[in-house]
Amino acid sequence: MNDLVHDIQDRGAITPKLTAVRLGDKALTYGELAHRIDEYDHVCSAHGMSQAAAFYAALMNCLPTLGEVQPLEARMQVLGEVEAWLGRGRGAVAPARTHLRAVS
């Protein structure tokens, strides 16, 4: 997870307007996601929580429609798909992306 967050932060610094992921009609840029992860990381660290908690909190904040995915198992699947999509460039294999698509 730390490698994924580091990659997102690097991409956010280099190409902040590049779309990281799109869910429904909402496009999330690397810059916005990196910024939110950084903000949540300060809060999570102060309360003894991991960087993974900051990552998931940032996703839920930036993609509020994630909270509308029901049932909970489906929401967790979509979160896993988003995480796999964001990690695809690091050699991670993304599962079937029913909610995600590439943007060129």
| Nearest C-alpha neighbor of 39 from the set 64, 12, 15 | 12
Instruction: Tell whether 75 is covered by a domain.
Output: no
Average pLDDT on 8-36 reads 95
Average pLDDT on 71-88 reads 92
pTM: 0.83
| Nearest C-alpha neighbor of 23 from the set 78, 104, 61 | 78
First to last CA, the chain: 26
Q: Write the pLDDT tens digit of every residue in 14-24.
A: 999 999 999 88
pLDDT at 93: 46
Distance CA 25, CA 15 (A): 21
Instruction: Tell whether 98 is covered by a domain.
Output: no
Instruction: Tell whether 21 is covered by a domain.
Output: yes
Cα 18 off chain centre by: 13
pLDDT at 24: 87
Q: Which domain holds residue 33?
A: 2-66
Instruction: Tell whether 12 is covered by a domain.
Output: yes
Average pLDDT on 28-56 reads 95
Average pLDDT on 70-78 reads 94
Give me the residue label for tokens 């988003």: 82
Structure tokens at 17: 């307007």
* Structural domain count of the chain: 1
